[in-house]
């Protein structure tokens, strides 16, 4: 149970970190920051965190 929650959080935070890296480094590297992309990466982190919890838990019935 605890492992599943921790792994789900790690997966979710991974996508948030990717979003933050893109947000921070894109202007430095001379690229335009697409805010829709940053937002979707945040959302993806949240959604995949839940999904990983669901998939590792599965249905008990």
Partner 1 sequence: MTADAHALQPVADTGHGTTIPAGGHQVRGGISNPVLGMLLFITSEVMFFSGLFAAYFSTRAANTPWPPAQFKDTLNPLSLILIATLVLVLSSFTCQFAVWSIRRGDRTGFIRNISITFVLGIVFLLLQAYDYTVLFSEGMTIASGPFGTTYFTLTGFHGAHVFGGVLMLGVILYRGMSGQFSARHHDAVEAVSFYWHFVDVVWIILFSVLYLL
Give residues in contact with partner 1 (CB under 8 A).
Answer: 1-3, 34-40, 42-44, 46-47, 50-51, 53-54, 57-61
CA 8 to chain centre: 10
Nearest residue (CB) to partner 1, 28 versus 36: 36
Whether the Cβ atoms of residue 16 and residue 42 lie closer than 8 Å to each other = yes
Nearest residue (CB) to partner 1, 13 versus 37: 37
Least Å from the CB of residue 32 to partner 1: 9
């Amino acid at each position: 149970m605890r492992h599943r929650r921790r792994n789900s959080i790690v997966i979710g935070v991974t996508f948030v970190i990717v979003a933050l890296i893109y947000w921070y480094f894109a202007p430095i590297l001379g690229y335009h920051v697409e805010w829709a992309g940053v937002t979707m990466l945040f959302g993806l982190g949240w959604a995949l965190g839940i999904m990983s919890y669901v998939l590792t838990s599965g249905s008990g019935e």
